């Protein structure tokens, strides 16, 4: 592919902050709940690259075709692949695309077509590299490029605003639209490939009290590796994820707490499985517990298959251990729908 920027090319990244930044130097954008993607086009050749530098084209043939049909024949776009379902973003539909069978992917691409939301332009239609320009100029070039594209096509311009009130409105509408949060970018910064210095992200973090239905031992050290979390569904405790971000001291402390509870019913509904596409090394061996321990966790997403998740991982890996209690509460308190 004859372009001045070649794949794999590390996209710019954002660091997490707790508050939307203020000031005239910021551009605010929705944070799409999808797959980060760089789209390379040279003639009829199109390549989609993931954040990790892996090819994505085989999983989204409809996007490859749409990008190849655009009137401009050369560009490199930074954006996000999303799927809309009933007016909301559906990350679960995206996950279904990561499938080995081409026939399955073709079927899903027809039933639930993906959309590419473009939010930065790295190489323009003349083959000029724009990464050294400030974002303010790159955004102007991006808008001009998209004026030549179909307005309601599969490849769309991601909205952006310098008005903080608009960012606050997007933040309020996260639940309705299925957005992942807000991104704020410095207007005077060049494109920082592989760095987290030019933009920040703000996510809505929620909390939930979950029943600890079991645990797994750590691979090293003999402490607790992860707590397996559950919520009640029709009086049955379903496994909904795990939390594992503990210090070495906490792992030892937790071992003393959970080992006396070994031997209980554990998960009476959906139980934990073994290795998955997200964690091929995970052991299927776990210890069921008496249902007396509660753990408060924080999370940013609860997927359609009833699992806490963050990004691509169907797990509670993004949740942190913030406390425990053995005070009795009714099963209804820990039922689905009690998350805040």
Catalytic residues: 31
Q: Which of 232, 293, 286, 236 is nearest to 260 (CA)?
A: 293
Phi/psi of residue 92, nearest 5 degrees:
-65, -35
Query: CA angle at residue 193 from 187 to 195, to 5 degrees?
Result: 80
Positive or negative torsion for Cα 150, 152, 156, 162:
positive
Residues with Cβ < 8 Å from 118, sequence gap 6 or more? 39, 77, 78, 79, 142, 146, 155, 156, 157, 158
CB 238 within 8 A of CB 231: yes
Structure tokens given for 14: 């954002």
271 DSSP 8-state letter: P
If residue 153 lies in a helix (H) or strand (E), which one and from where to where? none
Backbone angles phi, psi at 204, to 5 degrees: -85, 115
Residue pair 268/279 in contact by the 8 Å Cβ criterion: no
Distance CA 23, CA 186 (A): 10
Q: What is the C-alpha to C-alpha distance for residues 37 and 130, in angstroms, rounded to an integer?
A: 18
Q: Tokens 């957005």, residue?
A: 179
Residue in this structure with the two tokens 């030019």, named with its chain if needed? 198
């Amino acid at each position: 592919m004859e372009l001045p920027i070649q794949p794999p090319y590390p996209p710019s990244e954002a660091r997490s902050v707790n508050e939307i930044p203020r000031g005239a130097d910021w551009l605010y954008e929705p944070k799409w709940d999808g797959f980060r993607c760089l789209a390379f086009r040279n003639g009829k050749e199109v390549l989609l690259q993931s954040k990790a530098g892996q090819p994505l084209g085989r999983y989204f043939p409809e996007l490859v075709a749409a990008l190849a049909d655009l009137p401009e024949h050369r560009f490199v776009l930074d954006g996000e692949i999303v799927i809309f379902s009933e007016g909301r973003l559906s990350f679960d539909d995206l996950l279904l695309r990561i499938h080995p069978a081409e026939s399955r992917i073709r079927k899903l691409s027809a039933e639930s077509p993906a959309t590419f939301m473009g939010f930065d332009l790295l190489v323009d239609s003349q083959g000029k590299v724009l990464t050294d320009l400030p974002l303010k100029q790159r955004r102007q070039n991006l808008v001009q490029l998209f004026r030549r594209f179909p307005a309601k096509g599969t490849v769309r311009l991601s909205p952006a605003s310098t008005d903080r009130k608009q960012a606050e409105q997007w933040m309020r509408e996260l639940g309705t639209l299925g957005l992942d949060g807000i991104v704020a970018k410095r207007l005077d910064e060049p494109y920082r490939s592989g760095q987290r210095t030019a933009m920040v992200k703000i996510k809505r973090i929620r909390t939930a009290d979950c029943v600890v239905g079991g645990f797994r031992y750590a691979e090293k050290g003999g402490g607790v590796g992860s707590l397996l979390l559950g919520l009640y569904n029709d009086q049955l405790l379903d496994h909904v994820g795990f939390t594992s971000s503990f210090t070495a001291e906490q792992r030892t402390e937790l071992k003393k707490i959970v080992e006396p509870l070994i031997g209980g019913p554990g998960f009476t509904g959906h139980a934990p499985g073994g290795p998955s596409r997200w964690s091929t090394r995970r052991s299927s061996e776990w210890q069921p517990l008496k249902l007396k321990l509660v753990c408060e966790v924080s999370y940013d997403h609860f997927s359609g298959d009833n699992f806490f998740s963050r990004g691509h991982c169907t797990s509670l890996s993004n949740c942190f251990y913030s406390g425990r209690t053995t005070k009795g509460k009714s099963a209804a308190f820990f039922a689905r729908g009690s998350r805040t």
